[in-house]
Structure 1
């Protein structure tokens, strides 16, 4: 007789509050050690998670612990995904989904997709089209493709002296048109 698999505690997604930042940094440190994201560890990780262009941010929780994060930020000069979207003449201004990560122990539980869904919904409620970029070699590019995000192109960007990084840029799928 085989036993039933143990129940996996559900993830929940909610808006990030200032008191969450220390726990977000702890989760980000685990992701950095496991997966190398972000490529360059920020001198002030809490500030990195709260850039000046921030519009909204969310956390994913499991068992009362923060295990994921996503942010929505205004596209700024030099943001390659926003530039590629604008060059296509999409008509709707772009907004960037970034600072997205899920702790290694919570991967595969739907947290990344739930965070993306929340960010996309918020972008659309603001009349904006979500875009993002990811290091070209990062396996997360396959995740965005599975979610139906459209590949806009690859851009090389200088991140520091002697550091040129290739980025894959994506745009969220167009919203479904409702009929009838």
Structure 2
């Protein structure tokens, strides 16, 4: 949780600090997760989840392809500790989640807060395609703009 706390303090990710960070990293829809290490310390994390009704990227990709949400897997909870950046951990974690989704014959998709330009740059550098930009209601008094991405062709 220390790496996640450092990311939150520096980058405000996650946007809202979870009441139970361990549960946030391991939601019930979790299919798999990976941790990157650097010098024996946790450097980053990524998860792969089943798509649900609130997953905008999954809904957009599925509608465009004429398939159900079950044809997708949502990549999320990706972060790299500030001190570990610049070593390729984010790209390696993203590649691991993408490969696992494809191994399961699922198409990887994700949503990212539009203000997170570093994450957006990573996804685009790694060949992900922006599907749309949408507004998501996160609470009665908070609407957040997100970019929705899908992994490129295998």
Q: TM-score, normalised by structure 1?
A: 0.82
Instruction: Return the alpha-carbon distance in structure 2 between the equivalents of residues 36 and 78 of structure 1.
Output: 22
Task: Report how far residue 161 of structure 1 moved.
Answer: 2.2
Question: Is 1:75 aligned to residue 51 of structure 2?
Answer: yes
| Map of 1:127 onto structure 2 | 105
- For residue 42 of structure 1, give the secondary structure of its aligned residue in structure 2: coil
| Map of 1:30 onto structure 2 | 6
| Map of 2:141 onto structure 1 | 162
Question: Is 1:117 aligned to residue 98 of structure 2?
Answer: no
Render the CA deviation track for 1:58-110: whole Å, top value 9, x for unaligned: 00001111110000000011110100111111658110000000000111100
- For residue 88 of structure 1, give the secondary structure of its aligned residue in structure 2: helix
| Map of 2:16 onto structure 1 | 40
- Unmatched tracts of structure 2, length 5 or more: none
- Unmatched tracts of structure 1, length 5 or more: 1-24, 176-180
Task: Report how far residue 166 of structure 1 moved.
Answer: 0.6
Question: Is 1:53 aligned to residue 26 of structure 2?
Answer: no
The aligned length equals: 151
1:81-92 aligned within 5 A: 81-89=57-65, 91=67
Task: Report how far residue 142 of structure 1 moved.
Answer: 1.5
CA RMSD of aligned residues (A): 1.1
| Map of 1:149 onto structure 2 | 128
Instruction: Return the alpha-carbon distance in structure 1 between the equivalents of residues 66 and 103 of structure 2.
Output: 17
| Map of 1:106 onto structure 2 | 84
Instruction: Return the alpha-carbon distance in structure 1 between the equivalents of residues 25 and 66 of structure 2.
Output: 28
Instruction: Return the alpha-carbon distance in structure 1 between the equivalents of residues 85 and 145 of structure 2.
Output: 25
More helix by share: 2
